[in-house]
């Protein structure tokens, strides 16, 4: 493995250690210089289930890195699934 390959694995792990489950921290990582950190940030925000993260994710959809854009789309999909499931939870059961 090359040094750049190793760094692309270490930086997202360092971001995870720094941010944990802090969505504000992950939101800040969406603009990190390292694309692998931006990917991790998008996925963490999508996994958070917090709909307020959607606006920050959408702002980054023009990212020049394909992997980052795909992660942003995946995260938004997860958030929309969570929102749809939450909207259906209050309905009255069987028809």
Reported residue count of the chain is 95
Task: Give the global pTM.
Answer: 0.81
Confidence of residue 95 (pLDDT cuts 50, 70, 90): very low
Single out the residue of 38, 47, 40 nearest to residue 76, CA to CA.
Answer: 47
How far apart, in whole angstroms, are the C-alpha atoms of residue 90 and residue 11? 41
Indicate if the alpha-carbon torsion angle 62, 67, 73, 75 is positive or negative.
Answer: negative
Are 77 and 53 in contact by the 8 Å Cβ rule? The answer is no
The pLDDT assigned to 14 comes to: 95
Single out the residue of 51, 34, 5, 3 nearest to residue 15, CA to CA.
Answer: 34
């Amino acid at each position: 493995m090359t040094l750049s390959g190793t760094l692309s694995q270490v930086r997202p792990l360092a971001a995870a250690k720094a941010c944990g489950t802090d969505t504000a921290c992950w939101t800040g990582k969406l603009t990190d210089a390292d694309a692998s950190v931006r990917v991790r940030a998008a996925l963490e925000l999508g996994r958070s289930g917090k709909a307020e993260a959607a606006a920050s994710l959408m702002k980054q959809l023009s990212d020049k890195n394909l992997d980052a854009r795909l992660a942003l789309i995946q995260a938004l999909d997860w958030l929309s699934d969570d929102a749809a499931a939450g909207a259906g939870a209050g309905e009255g059961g069987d028809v």
